[in-house]
Amino acid sequence: MPVPDIAPEPVDQEAVLRARVGRMLVEPGTIPETAAAVLPEDLSAPLALVYVSVLAVYASGEPVDPIAVGIHLHRRDLLADVGGPSFLAKLVASASSAPAPRTSSQRRPPAVVVPMRTPARGVAASGPSAESEMWKKVIEHWCDPRGTLDEAHLGAVKRSVLLGVVGDVALVGVPSPEDKKLMEDLRMVQTIMMLRERFPQVRVLSLTVFEDADV
């Protein structure tokens, strides 16, 4: 008598993502690989807040652990929004179920470089997002012919992408460390003020490097 096929249980993608973010908290060496596969827009609101905080702490060069990330969230009055320290503890507990990181002989990028998956460009079926529309205005501002930017800085601006706004952090992606350095030369306070026309909660602009390749 043939044995009937048993359909595999559906994968709980939210649980997988929680585990990956949890592993970032306990194994910071996995941050570049996770950032290359996950964007803030892939995550639910509380998890996205923690994820961006992990990237911000990592990019600052500070050690990443649940306490440092909790402090980062607390200073921005966001810790309660994610569910408090207990939510971070649950993420840490879920880390053991995350996929094992791939081993590589390559050196890990410096802390200020977090290679991320290439964000989707162009217009989605439902129309352009608020983030893409706002960033288009920012680019138009910097590309004003009356401005004083040289070609190198203008090129970096045109290649930049607003990856998302989570809490008070606007995460901006650029395709190379060189572009990141050029963007850091600009008057970021002015850019933040422009973003606040659409996203009044923005207080911090965090630059990160995404890989210009499909993952």
Quote the tokens at residue 55.
Answer: 């990237």
Q: Mean pLDDT across the stretch 116-132?
A: 55
The conformational region for residue 147 under phi > 0 = left, psi -120 to 50 = alpha, else beta, is beta
Q: In what order do the strands lie in the sheet with 169-174?
A: 161-166, 169-174, 204-209
Beta carbons within 10 angstroms of residue 26's beta carbon: 16
Band of residue 42 on the pLDDT scale cut at 50, 70, 90: confident
Q: What is the pLDDT of residue 125?
A: 40
What ranges do the domains of the chain cover?
11-99, 112-215
Band of residue 137 on the pLDDT scale cut at 50, 70, 90: confident
Band of residue 124 on the pLDDT scale cut at 50, 70, 90: very low
Percentage of the chain beyond pLDDT 90 is: 12
H helix or E strand, kind and range, residue 146? none
> Residue 114: which of 188, 207, 17 has the closest Cα?
207
CB 195 within 8 A of CB 205: yes
12 by Cβ neighbours in 10 Å (0-12 / 13-18 / 19+) ranks as exposed
3-class state of residue 98 by DSSP: coil
> Residue 118: which of 4, 212, 13 has the closest Cα?
212
Q: Which amino acid is at 33?
A: E
Beta carbons within 10 angstroms of residue 199's beta carbon: 16
Q: Mean pLDDT across the stretch 172-199?
A: 83
Band of residue 111 on the pLDDT scale cut at 50, 70, 90: very low
3-class state of residue 162 by DSSP: strand
Taking the model in full, what pTM does it have? 0.57
CATH class of 112-215: alpha beta
β-sheet bridge partners, residue 209: 174
Quote the tokens at residue 22.
Answer: 């949890």
What is the signed CA dihedral for 189, 194, 200, 202, rounded to 10 degrees?
Answer: -40
Q: Mean pLDDT across the stretch 210-214?
A: 46
CATH fold of the domain at 11-99: DNAb Helicase; Chain A (1.10.860)
Q: How far apart are CA 126 and CA 151, in angstroms?
A: 34
Residue pLDDT, tens place only, 17-33: 999 999 999 998 888 88
Quote the tokens at residue 190.
Answer: 């002015």
Q: Which amino acid is at 75?
A: R
